[in-house]
Amino acid sequence: MPNPLKSDWTLDDIAGIYDLPLLELVFKAQTVHRENHDPLRVQKCTLLSIKTGGCPEDCSYCPQAARYSTGVESEKLLPVPTVLAKAREAKAAGSTRFCMGAAWRNVKDGPQFEQVIDMVKGVNSLGMEVCCTLGMLKPEQAERLKEAGLYAYNHNIDTSEEYYGEVIGTRQFTDRIDTLNNVRRAGITMCTGGIIGLGETREDHLAFLQRLASFDPHPESVPINALVPVAGTPLENQEIIDPLLLVRVIATARILMPRSVVRLSAGRLQMSREAQMLCFLAGANSIFAGDKLLTTANPGESKDDEMFRLLGIQAMENRADACSGSKEPALSGNV
Ligand code: SAM
Ligand code: DTB
Ligand code: SF4
């Protein structure tokens, strides 16, 4: 019997999972994974930075914050045809989801937002899951994006509410939750997760996972990033996370949120193939494909194709409901 979906996990419940011997935890996570997903299918998604750098926020991990000297220059919003050409390329390489990122604190109404709306329409018409990550959104902006065919919106809670202020000072944890609620109310699927390796503790992991799993229904998509320390950011000297800790977080996320797509996101370049394999065993079923994330490097198609071949993984095919313009997204309802 598949695990019933639950949004009221207590911190004790979660600790009882997170603290299991790792082999036991991975086995349990893989069991839950098999009850809810095809264990040999992993979704390939492609990221494109449509507006790079110059961000007014102070997220201490981020190379795009204007206040840090990271070598990332501020660029203008990309033209629509450039973006659509990249989306076609991504689709041809096997990606079924295309995520456009802008280094904005929040979306402002006006010509730039209209340009993004046109990008969303264009990518949606290619039959891909179209996702955006543009910073904070107001309810009416979420509704406009939904009308244009947006399938998913990425907006990470990043870490526990308690640790949030150590990492970001220019906005509050509750601002993130407000935007996520606006996204869901507009009928857009929710993509939210965070970063492991910011200097947070076990308690922060438990609280972070509890907050994610307390959305009812659960976020349809949960990206788990390993910090990529970038020179010039306050976290440039942060030690690279032990991949086994990442496996522990992913396995716990899989057990708490059995039906969500768990995305092994930033940080794969600093992980061995074997460590990534453990993440897939622990229930990760999506990666970002291509040699670039937003501004930092990523393994690239040929390396990933080779890994998929060795592990016997197949790229996930397009979901029938990917074009939200033609059909409602399948929001996973709680039992
Ligand atoms: N400005 C928008 C926002 O903050 O939501 C969208 C872009 S932002 C770069 C998207 C996410 O990328 C962040 O929430 C964070 O989780 C992740 N990220 C940024 N820099 C990272 C890094 N150096 N290592 C790992 N993840 C990172
Ligand atoms: C997410 O959680 N990770 C992706 C996506 N959502 C937008 C972004 C990772 C960015 C890593 C740093 C960079 O390349 O600039
Ligand atoms: Fe700006 Fe997003 Fe980077 Fe924060 S994570 S500095 S909001 S681009």
- Distance in angstroms (rounded) separating the CA atoms of residues 83 and 120: 10
* Among protein residues, the one whose CA lies closest to atom 23 of ligand 1: 228
Handedness of CA 306, 312, 316, 317 (dihedral sign): positive
* Among protein residues, the one whose CA lies closest to atom 1 of ligand 2: 223
Class of the CATH-defined domain 11-315: alpha beta
pLDDT confidence of residue 140? 97
- Distance in angstroms (rounded) separating the CA atoms of residues 333 and 103: 32
Mutate to test the pocket of ligand 3, among 49, 50, 55, 155 (most ligand atoms within 8 A of CB): 55
pLDDT confidence of residue 256? 98
- Which of 45, 131, 132, 279 is catalytic? The answer is 131
- Distance in angstroms (rounded) separating the CA atoms of residues 210 and 204: 10
**With a 6 A CB cut-off, is 230 part of the ligand 1 pocket?**
yes
- Sorted by where each begins, the domain ranges of the chain are 11-315
Please say whether the beta carbons of 98 and 48 come within 8 A: yes
Please say whether the beta carbons of 190 and 231 come within 8 A: no
Provide residues with CB under 6 Å of ligand 3: 55, 57, 59, 62, 64-65, 103, 105, 135
Instruction: With a cut of 70, list the residues of the chain below it in pLDDT.
Output: 1-3, 319-335
Instruction: Of 131, 90, 115, give the one whose Cα is nearest residue 324.
Output: 131
pLDDT confidence of residue 79? 97
Instruction: Of 184, 203, 204, 187, give the one whose Cα is nearest residue 195.
Output: 204
Tally Cβ neighbours within 10 Å of residue 76: 10
State the pTM of this model: 0.94
- Is 131 among the catalytic positions? yes
**H or E element, residue 205:** helix 202-213
* Among protein residues, the one whose CA lies closest to atom 6 of ligand 3: 65
- Which of 45, 97, 99, 176 is catalytic? The answer is 99
Q: Provide the greatest CA pair distance for the chain.
A: 53
Please say whether the beta carbons of 57 and 105 come within 8 A: yes
Place of tokens 């079923």: 285
